[in-house]
Copies of this chain bind each other. A is one copy, B any other.
């Protein structure tokens, strides 16, 4: 089933301890849709400027992504510049130029309005709500957010959360949103704000999925070389939602767990190279093989007798 993402398409400049790149393809909608496109038809609502390279448009088209909702307007494309230290868990933002993204107001093409799976990338919660206004009886609406909105637009965010079925946040955001240090308590508090599920992303430590009566823990894939963590969270969400959209049964715990692992699988590829370089080349057999690796990484046998 098809999948809609609303978010940023950007040009990123990134410095890591292992190298640097200028004006490479980035943005939440880009990572999300590319990741999801391995599993399900994806659709973008986003905006770029006149300077956005046609080669990037071709790449997204080549991945089968529906770009009817990608508008090109006068001005420059959204630019983000960040630097990672050896910790690699959090970027230091060096520069943000919103450019054409500043006046972005998501308008869904008529053909998008019946999309069953909707991902609201990290934009102003009022814009996220405006997207929900435009879709007709979606099967699942998921959203991302960040400290900036949690602090600065809390009321709007809480309103939007009432209309969201699943929230993706990192652990610091979860704590801030809930006003609870303990991550389990924070998750429960968020489940009381509207979403029936919350995914708490913890970078190199993996991710937790909380539902009312279930918790699922998925580790991050232990990689000896993490090159560039940019986009890992959106790639995770794309793999997660993409896997969800392929499910032939109801969205139950079984389906959600597989989605968690697929999110982790896709994120583990993204961080292996700069920008979307690894996602450009990764294959379905590689994805399947890494999914199998995750089972080896996490599964164990039933308990035998406990002697004394």
Please list the residues of chain A having a beta carbon within 8 angstroms of any beta carbon in chain B.
38-41, 64, 86-87, 181-185, 188, 202, 204-206, 208, 214-219, 222-226, 246, 248, 254, 257-258, 260-262, 284, 287-288, 291-292, 295-308
Q: Take A246-B305, A298-B299, A306-B246 as given contacts and tell me if A182 and B225 are in contact as well, using a CB distance cutoff of 8 Å.
A: yes
Q: Report B-chain residues with C-beta under 8 Å of the C-beta of A206.
A: 205, 217, 219
Q: How far is the CB of A273 from chain B (nearest CB, A)?
A: 16
Query: CA of A215 to CA of B300 in the docked complex: distance in angstroms?
Result: 12
Q: Report B-chain residues with C-beta under 8 Å of the C-beta of A226.
A: 182
Query: CA of A181 to CA of B223 in the docked complex: distance in angstroms?
Result: 12
Q: Take A205-B205, A224-B185 as given contacts and tell me if A284 and B297 are in contact as well, using a CB distance cutoff of 8 Å.
A: no
Contact of A217 with B222 in the complex, beta carbons under 8 Å: yes
Contact of A287 with B306 in the complex, beta carbons under 8 Å: yes
Query: CA of A94 to CA of B229 in the docked complex: distance in angstroms?
Result: 37
In order of increasing CB-CB distance, the 4 nearest A-B pairs are A217-B219, A257-B300, A205-B205, A184-B224
Q: How far is the CB of A247 from chain B (nearest CB, A)?
A: 8
Q: Report B-chain residues with C-beta under 8 Å of the C-beta of A41.
A: 308
